[in-house]
Structure 1
């Protein structure tokens, strides 16, 4: 599909992608993009991705708390001397 056609028929383009099609967009006789259905991610996908990763340690929790404090401007940079 040409870029001009994709622009003019964007709703139809999205309908085709929603049906599972991958559309190649061309400009001047060469492919410039492929548009395909988005992979829908779920909580189960996240749990599976994190399954083999150990939970954060106490230091990590402290680093996050310090970063949040820094973002809220409540304290000077705790890593400035590092």
Structure 2
């Protein structure tokens, strides 16, 4: 998926969840890293990218942890011989 599609998807999701204010915030979330990436050395840019990746991964890991009981229940139900 290209950067444009990702940007568009984020805008749509933010508009659904948070309205126009969320759209403005999500636009700045995409613009600010570009401004910071222009000046510093390359290793600083890679470090900022790694931090951004961690910031995206932490909520997903938290959601997986919170859904673990439901996941194991569905797996058990799927592999139950009675259902086949």
* Superposition TM-score tier, normalisation by shorter sequence: under 0.3
Q: Which structure has the larger Rg over C-alpha atoms?
A: 1
* Higher strand proportion (structure 1 or 2): 1
TM-score normalised by length of structure 1: 0.28
Higher RCO (C-alpha 8 Å, min separation 6) = 1
